[in-house]
Amino acid sequence: MTSPPAATRSDAARNRVRLLDAAAGLITERGSDVDVREIARRAEVGMGTLYRHFPTKEALLDAALEHVFTSWAAAASAALTGRAWSDLSRFLGDALTRQTASPGLLDAYCQALPGQAGNTARQHCRQQVGPLIAELVRAAHASGDLRPDITAEDVSLLLVALGRIAPVVPEPSWRRILHVSLDGLRASSATPLPHP
Amino acid sequence: MTSPPAATRSDAARNRVRLLDAAAGLITERGSDVDVREIARRAEVGMGTLYRHFPTKEALLDAALEHVFTSWAAAASAALTGRAWSDLSRFLGDALTRQTASPGLLDAYCQALPGQAGNTARQHCRQQVGPLIAELVRAAHASGDLRPDITAEDVSLLLVALGRIAPVVPEPSWRRILHVSLDGLRASSATPLPHP
DNA sequence: ACCGAAGCGGAGCAGCCGCTCCGGTAGGGT
DNA sequence: ACCCTACCGGAGCGGCTGCTCCGCTTCGGT
């Protein structure tokens, strides 16, 4: 009588994963403007299949990005050493290196900035990395290396800004800018900030 | 016999200016992906006219941007006071304010970054502002306020990076980041940079 | 083995964009 | 005043993109 709610078919589940993988790959390689046909092709799947699993291109990209951000956050927290300042600067450097190889990564992260129109769905991608940044900031405050008037929001914003140039200039160039920014974040260079 | 080389007709000249104005307006208001039809409409001109004056959309945008960058550079040098550090930080703040109102401005400037594919034409837009930055950096080095290992290229890059976030976050937010970056640029916070 | 239904694929639709083409218009030298 | 010619306008072409539709396939419970 009460048939089980619908045990999803095995091929359906497999194709869903294929789509997510293909979308994640393309979005990180080429940025957020991908052709749906190409996603379907890479996933070895038809258009109909794509649109059965996800109501819209946006929805697919959101779902794929959630995976990407989750694994990014996992890798980043695995790299923590406990030394606050070096963890923070390592995190930023690694994030930008990642962004260099995947120009679309922070591009998507940027679209999740608070106050952006729509994109409420993509906001929660940001929730994968946000807490990690908050933690890094808290630790660096506690150790006294990070100037106390800096918020996690500031660090996020700085990361997004640098992420926009990292893929389009040679690595030494953006490393210099990161270096300068980190110097500005040090407690020793504090100068009164305009309030939040 | 020898007819004068072709004294351009008056309406042709007028329409050329209209096209440049319309293109400049749209590109600064909405960014660099504008519909040619919309440019023509705002210029109150037909498509044929547009493409007679400029061989391609790119060419029109390049020409329009040259005007925009020239007037930006003029306004910026008019605002110089002679006090090196305050001139530099004012320049950056003003540039970002301008970018806030015209999200496409630094967007275009960014596309002129060295090493970008193609875009050789747009490079010379950058030549309007580049020398000004070089001058500001030179003066700030001379006054001893700017750390000596910073190049004009570093400042350009920093400006582009901040310009990418300025239009999408509230002004106080990006002002904080600018403030932090300026602190990092001060001679007092010098920390050995990775070489150029 | 059977069979209903969930799932599949890809041709096709509608809309957008850069650009071209050509019949009509009007500027300006004579 | 005339006429030749440079110039104008906008319909239309080809290509790309997000999305839909529907005939066929294949899964998996019985």
B142, exposed or middle or buried, with CB in 10 Å at 0-12, 13-18, 19+?
exposed
Angle at B42 between CA B41 and CA B46, to 5 degrees: 35
Reported as a single tens digit per residue, the pLDDT across A101-137 is 887 777 777 666 665 555 555 677 778 899 999 999 9
Reported as a single tens digit per residue, the pLDDT across B137-152 is 999 999 999 999 999 9
* Cβ–Cβ below 8 Å for B116 and A154: no
Residue type, B195: H
pLDDT of residue A4: 46
Residue type, B161: A
> Strand C and chain B: which residues 120-179 have CB closer than 7 Å?
none
d(CA B174, CA B100): 10
Mean pLDDT, range A37-47, rounded to an integer? 97
Reported as a single tens digit per residue, the pLDDT across B9-37 is 899 999 999 999 999 999 988 888 899 99
d(CA A65, CA A25): 10
Residue of B nearest to A185 (CA): B180
Residue A172 scores a pLDDT above 80: yes
CATH topology (fold) of A62-189: Tetracycline Repressor; domain 2 (1.10.357)
Question: Is A96 within 8 Å of A166 (Cβ atoms)?
Answer: yes
Q: Around Cβ B89, how many Cβ atoms within 10 Å?
A: 18
Mean pLDDT of chain A: 88
pLDDT of residue A102: 82
pLDDT of residue A12: 95
d(CA B90, CA B154): 17
**Could you tell me the two tokens for A133?**
């940044």
Q: Which nucleotide is nearest to A43 (CA to C1')?
A: C9
Three-state SS for A160? Answer: helix
Contact between the CB of B37 and strand C at under 7 Å: yes
d(CA A28, CA A35): 13
Architecture (CATH level 2) of domain B61-189: Orthogonal Bundle (1.10)
**Could you tell me the two tokens for B191?**
């920390």
d(CA B7, CA B14): 14
d(CA A40, CA B46): 40
Å between CA of B108 and C1' of C23: 38
Residues in B lying within 8 Å of A, measured between beta carbons: 110, 113, 115-116, 150, 153-154, 157-158, 160-162, 164-165, 168-170, 172-177, 179-186, 188-191, 193-196
Question: Is B103 within 8 Å of B26 (Cβ atoms)?
Answer: no
pLDDT of residue A3: 40
pLDDT of residue A107: 72
* Cβ–Cβ below 8 Å for A193 and B185: no
pLDDT of residue A53: 97
Angle at A130 between CA A126 and CA A132, to 5 degrees: 135
Å between CA of B50 and C1' of C20: 12
| pLDDT, one tens digit for every residue, chain B (196 residues) | 334 445 688 999 999 999 999 999 999 888 888 999 999 999 999 999 999 999 999 999 999 988 888 889 999 999 999 999 999 999 999 999 998 888 778 777 766 666 555 555 567 777 889 999 999 999 999 999 999 999 999 999 999 999 989 988 899 999 999 999 999 999 998 788 787 6
- Chain B residues with CB under 8 Å of A175 CB are 194
User: Which segments within B35-193 are labelled E, that is strand?
Assistant: none
d(CA B64, CA B29): 13
d(CA A35, CA A33): 7
Å between CA of B62 and C1' of D20: 40
